Amino acid sequence: MESEGFFHVCTKPLETDVYFKSEEAMNLALNAMAIAVFSSGCRLLAFAVMSNHFHFVLEGRREVCRIFFDAFKKHLTKCMAGDDVRKLLKACEAQYISIDNLKQLRDEIAYVVRNPFAARTNANMFAYRWCSGYLYFNDTWSLFAKGTSASEMTIDARRIFTRSRSSEVDPGIMVLDGTALPVSFVDYKRTESFFENAREFQHCLLKNVESQVTIAKRMGDALTLDDHEIWDVLSRLCRNTYKVGGPKELSPEDKIAVARNLKYDYGASNAQISRCLGMMRSAVDQIFPLSARGK
């Protein structure tokens, strides 16, 4: 019998299309998740729903995780309007990345929670509604609307929620204005147990850049680091590789080598390289002409 495990279940981002064009459509993904969790019996530890891809960290047997994703995709496909979107969802395939140890589990959870923040400059990883990041180590639930059990909705409302003639819905699903609340279907307390405390959780999200880079490369995701993160990487390179106190002490040749390192290994933009290395933007653009302004 297959033993319990942990999996990062994710889809590749669509290159030219999106699944969702409105917040209302994004909310349908939350409903689909809730139904899939309770019907499959897996534990959902973390999730991020973006307009063109999905991330889930699940606990359970691989087959149970497959049942979760198939149920999620099937329900969401029924909910969405438009044949084009339904066709995209039906063709959507998931990767099932096995998680082998506690460090990797922490890193994968952090990667998922960071995903909206990394992809969108206006997304707060602790407030984005379609990601589980705001659930962890949060003692302010008493200030939030609690919702009601989905089983207390009217029969018609339950049929709309399940997109079926049956009005049966798990009473554990809590809803507010017709949308499932993640607090009722994400096992956030279980997720918290894998971290020593809130500080370690935030450190994994904000300071563990190397692990985020490794996962992004493995998945083929576009890597986006902010200036503070690029500066942390640059500082480590200066100390550990070039044995200098900072970028001002680098030789011109070493600056070019570091610039290439930041570009190709960490996805730094020309503007970031210019700011962090103290190089003229025109000089950086000459090194990386394809990334130059206007190209």
Average pLDDT along the chain: 88
| Residue 241 scores a pLDDT above 70 | yes
| Residue 94 scores a pLDDT above 70 | yes
State the Cα–Cα distance between residues 225 and 126, nearest whole angstrom: 17
Residue 82's pLDDT is 81
Q: Helices 252-266 and 227-236 meet at what angle, rounded to 10?
A: 130
Q: Helices 227-236 and 209-219 meet at what angle, rounded to 10?
A: 110
Q: How far apart are the first and last CA of the chain?
A: 55
Q: Which of 36-45, 244-253, 263-272 has the least mean pLDDT? A: 263-272
State the Cα–Cα distance between residues 282 and 286, nearest whole angstrom: 6
**Position 96 confidence tier, pLDDT thresholds 50, 70, 90:** very high
Residue 173's pLDDT is 92
| Residue 113 scores a pLDDT above 90 | yes
Per-residue pLDDT tens over the stretch 179-215? 999 999 999 999 999 999 999 999 898 878 778 778 8
Residue 121's pLDDT is 63
| Residue 120 scores a pLDDT above 70 | no
Mean pLDDT across 117-125 = 69
Residue 84 backbone dihedrals phi, psi, to 5 degrees: -65, -45
Residue 222's pLDDT is 67
| Residue 294 scores a pLDDT above 70 | no
Residue 127's pLDDT is 82
Helix (H, G, I), strand (E, B) or coil at 115: helix
Q: Which of 76-80, 138-142, 158-162 has the least mean pLDDT? A: 138-142
Mean pLDDT across 126-153 = 84
Higher pLDDT, 167 or 175: 175
| Residue 286 scores a pLDDT above 70 | yes
Q: Rounded to two decimals, what is the model's pTM?
A: 0.81
Side chain identity at 253, as an amino acid letter? E
Q: Produce one character per residue of 124-162: b if its CB has 16 or more CB atoms within 10 Å, e if not.
A: ebeebebbbbbbbbeeeeeeeeebeebeebeeeebbebb
8 A C-beta contact, residue 113 and residue 57? no
Give the containing element (helix H, strand E) for 52.
none
Mean pLDDT across 65-77 = 95
Mean pLDDT across 33-60 = 96
**Position 142 confidence tier, pLDDT thresholds 50, 70, 90:** low
For 253, other C-beta atoms within 10 Å of its C-beta total: 8
Q: Domains for the chain: give ranges and CATH numbers.
A: 6-208 (3.30.70), 225-291 (no CATH)
**Position 145 confidence tier, pLDDT thresholds 50, 70, 90:** low
**Position 1 confidence tier, pLDDT thresholds 50, 70, 90:** very low
Question: Do the strands 6-11 and 174-176 form a parallel or antiparallel pair, or are they unpaired?
Answer: unpaired
State the Cα–Cα distance between residues 292 and 237, nearest whole angstrom: 24
| Residue 146 scores a pLDDT above 90 | no
Residue 14 backbone dihedrals phi, psi, to 5 degrees: -65, 140
Mean pLDDT across 231-251 = 91
Of residues 228, 209, 240, 237, the one with CA closest to residue 276? 228
Residue 144's pLDDT is 65
Encode 203-258 in three state secondary structure. HHHHCCHHHHHHHHHHHCCCCCCCHHHHHHHHHHHHHHHCCCCCHHHCCHHHHHHH
8 A C-beta contact, residue 218 and residue 225? no
Higher pLDDT, 143 or 269: 269
**Position 295 confidence tier, pLDDT thresholds 50, 70, 90:** very low
Residue 206's pLDDT is 82
| Residue 33 scores a pLDDT above 80 | yes
State the Cα–Cα distance between residues 43 and 80, nearest whole angstrom: 25
